[in-house]
Structure 1
Amino acid sequence: MFRDITLIDLLSSQENGPHTLVDVRSPSEFSEATIPGSINIPVFSDEERAEIGTLYKQVSKEAANERGLEIFAAKLPDFIRQFKTIEMPITVFCWRGGMRSKTAATVLDLMGIHANRLSGGIRTYRQWVVKELEKEDFPTELIVLNGYTGSGKTLLLQRLANEGYPVIDLEQLAGHRGSIFGQIGLEPNNQKKFDSLLVRQMQEVKDESVVFIEGESKRIGKVLVPSFLFDKKENGIHVFIHLPIEERVKNILLDYNPWDSKERFVEAFGLIKRRIHLPIAKEIEDSLNVGQFELAVKLLLEYYYDPRYEYSTSKRPHEYNFVIHAETIDDAYAQIVRLSKTFGKLITK
């Protein structure tokens, strides 16, 4: 017989080794928000869930249950096959720990596949995330990477993370690069998903003495950075990275790959076109339309992003603890690594 476990049980078991979480809700529910690291093996598709919901409201609970059983029975062999590919301990969950997860766990048990069921479902996890954020407790010192658009801050964070340095990458968690073109080629996350991913990343680095983060604004795409973390970032140790504009253009083109989404770039530019002096705005738009992205990006930096950055930093000036002048992103990374020894000394003073 399957076992109901609490969220505390689940979190403890994850600390002790590999554990597979299976969200048995519909694909759209899974896409909206889930427990980070989960996989989706749905009991019902979005259309099937809508059909059963309609029967429940318009006919009866019994009719909805009968139709649900009919649908699930037809897909049962494939459902079991997917679970048989999982070798680790398994915990299934739905929204409230209700019929979908109970049905899944019961059927799996009958087929000799042991799976726990999360009591309270993802709702209890969401409540835990909210409470964790309400604690406003993150004692670790933040090393904040600043610089003009295209300075490679995200690339530097990714490289630092790959080399084992503790990092919180807010843009990655938001699924957005923080600019008017920021969601092109990405899948922006909603606040619930962002909060869950952020809490997990904070838990992973909470015992580090310093954590690298980018100098983001409070809003990134669709989401807001919690006030306590934003304030801690504002009061962190700030590093300003200077790169030549040619290198910044290369970094942007590498990150955005605009050749694959020309129409979306032209469309996004239309949202800011009126904020740029007309002759320059027309030159940028013409360059985007004919695929001259290097020129378009250079003009955008010179006439839009750099002036806006200078204006915003003049309103809330930072006293930068360190300033890096680099010729390339590799040079900037090497200087940050050398400085990393200084960060620890600075904090212990």
Structure 2
Amino acid sequence: MFQDIAIEDLSALRQAGSLVTIDVRSPSEYADASIPGSLNIPLFNDEERAEIGTIYKQVSVQAAKERGLEIVSAKLPAFIKTFAQIPGKRAVFCWRGGMRSKTSATVLDLMGIRTYRLEGGYRAYRQWVVSRLEQMELTPPAFVLHGNTGTGKTAILRKLHEHSYPVLDIERLAGHRGSIFGNIGLKSHNQKTFDALMSDELDRLEHAPYFLMEAESKRVGKIVMPDRLVAKKEEGKHIWLELPLEARVTHLLEDYQPWEHQEECLQSFRLIKARIHTPIAAEIEWALQHEEYRMAIELLLVYYYDQRYAHSDTSYDMDNRTVIKAGSVEEAVTEIQQLLGGVSNA
């Protein structure tokens, strides 16, 4: 008989890398949010799930079960073959740990494929994640990167991560860069996905000597950071990055590639157009329309983003900070590495 597994035990096995989680819900449920890294092997597709739900409501529970059995029976050979190809330990889950995961685990067990079933399903996992983030204890000190738009804070974090520095990349978890242009070229995550990824990051950083993060606002795109992480950021050790305007413009061009997203850039700009002095706003719009992207970005930095950042800058303790002046992202990475060299055991 298959074995039920509690969320805490499943989390420990996932953290050790010794368990594959399999979401047997429909593709649309999986696309909305799932346990990070899970495979989707649906027992029913979206249309079949909708059909069974209609029968359940309009006819009877028994009729819905019988129709579900008809659908599943035709799929069993392929379903079992797919599971058999997955190496190592496996755990299946559905929405509430109900019929879909029970059916999957039972059939697999009958074919000699041992599988765990997550108690309470995805709903229990989601509740566990929310509770965990509300009570999160992130003990390592935070080094927080500040800097005007275009100083490459996210790029710097990712280069440091490549060199095995402990990094918490909020923008990666959110699928958003945090500005009005922040989702251009990216697939934004919803709050459920962000929270799940954040929970996994807590496991990874738990025993780190420190971690690095960007000075994001509480809201990044449509997601909201946990209150305790915001507090951790505010009490952290702050690093102010300064790069020349030309280097910042070049970095933003490389990051956003506006020539691939001209209409999206125009749409995003029009959301803030009224906040910019009218003649300057007209120049920016003209530049975007005529593919003069370097000109548009420079004007946006000088007349919009730098002014906004100067205002927000006043909320931090000016004495508790280190200023790094660099000519490029690469130089900034080197200087931060030298700074962290003295706090490797912080």
* In structure 2, distance between residues paired with 1:317 and 1:15: 37
CA contact (8 A) 2:134 2:228 kept: no
The structural deviation recorded for 1:70 is 2.1
- 1:1-349 equivalence runs, <5 A: 1-316=1-316, 318-344=318-344, 347=346
CA contact (8 A) 1:240 1:322 kept: yes
Residue type of the alignment partner of 2:341: K
Residue type of the alignment partner of 1:22: I
* In structure 2, distance between residues paired with 1:48 and 1:303: 54
> Alpha-carbon deviations, 1:88-144, whole Å to 9, x = none?
211101111101111111222233322111111112212221221232411110000
Residue type of the alignment partner of 2:151: S
The structural deviation recorded for 1:153 is 0.6
**Helix, strand or coil for the counterpart of 2:148?**
coil
Q: 1:126 to 1:318 in 2, by over 3 A?
A: farther
CA contact (8 A) 2:242 2:325 kept: yes
Residue type of the alignment partner of 1:194: F
CA contact (8 A) 2:184 2:261 kept: yes
Question: Which one is further off, 293-302 or 108-117?
Answer: 108-117
The structural deviation recorded for 1:47 is 2.2
**Helix, strand or coil for the counterpart of 1:184?**
coil
* In structure 2, distance between residues paired with 1:93 and 1:201: 22
> Alpha-carbon deviations, 1:242-287, whole Å to 9, x = none?
1111111121122212222211111111111111111211111122
* In structure 1, distance between residues paired with 2:72 and 2:299: 57
In structure 2, runs of 5+ residues without a counterpart are none
**Helix, strand or coil for the counterpart of 2:343?**
helix
The structural deviation recorded for 1:82 is 2.5
Number of residue equivalences: 346
* In structure 2, distance between residues paired with 1:318 and 1:293: 34
Identity %: 51
Residue type of the alignment partner of 1:68: G
Q: 1:183 to 1:207 in 2, by over 3 A?
A: same
* In structure 2, distance between residues paired with 1:163 and 1:300: 33
In structure 1, runs of 5+ residues without a counterpart are none
* In structure 2, distance between residues paired with 1:274 and 1:14: 49
CA contact (8 A) 2:134 2:226 kept: no
The structural deviation recorded for 1:7 is 1.6
CA contact (8 A) 2:134 2:227 kept: no
CA contact (8 A) 1:84 1:113 kept: yes
* In structure 2, distance between residues paired with 1:255 and 1:4: 45
TM-score, normalised relative to structure 2: 0.95
CA contact (8 A) 1:25 1:94 kept: yes
Residue type of the alignment partner of 1:254: E
Residue type of the alignment partner of 1:146: H
The structural deviation recorded for 1:198 is 0.8
CA contact (8 A) 1:168 1:202 kept: no
* In structure 1, distance between residues paired with 2:72 and 2:291: 50
Q: 1:299 to 1:81 in 2, by over 3 A?
A: farther
**Helix, strand or coil for the counterpart of 1:166?**
coil
* In structure 2, distance between residues paired with 1:315 and 1:133: 25
CA contact (8 A) 1:240 1:320 kept: no
Please report the RMSD computed on the Cα atoms of aligned residues, expressed in angstroms: 1.6
* In structure 1, distance between residues paired with 2:296 and 2:239: 28
**Helix, strand or coil for the counterpart of 1:100?**
helix
The structural deviation recorded for 1:13 is 2.5
The structural deviation recorded for 1:320 is 4.6
Residue type of the alignment partner of 2:243: L
> Alpha-carbon deviations, 1:129-170, whole Å to 9, x = none?
122123241111000011011111101111111111111111
Q: 1:78 to 1:285 in 2, by over 3 A?
A: farther
Question: Which one is further off, 186-195 or 96-105?
Answer: 186-195
> Alpha-carbon deviations, 1:227-254, whole Å to 9, x = none?
1110110110000111111111121122
CA contact (8 A) 1:145 1:239 kept: yes
The structural deviation recorded for 1:200 is 1.1
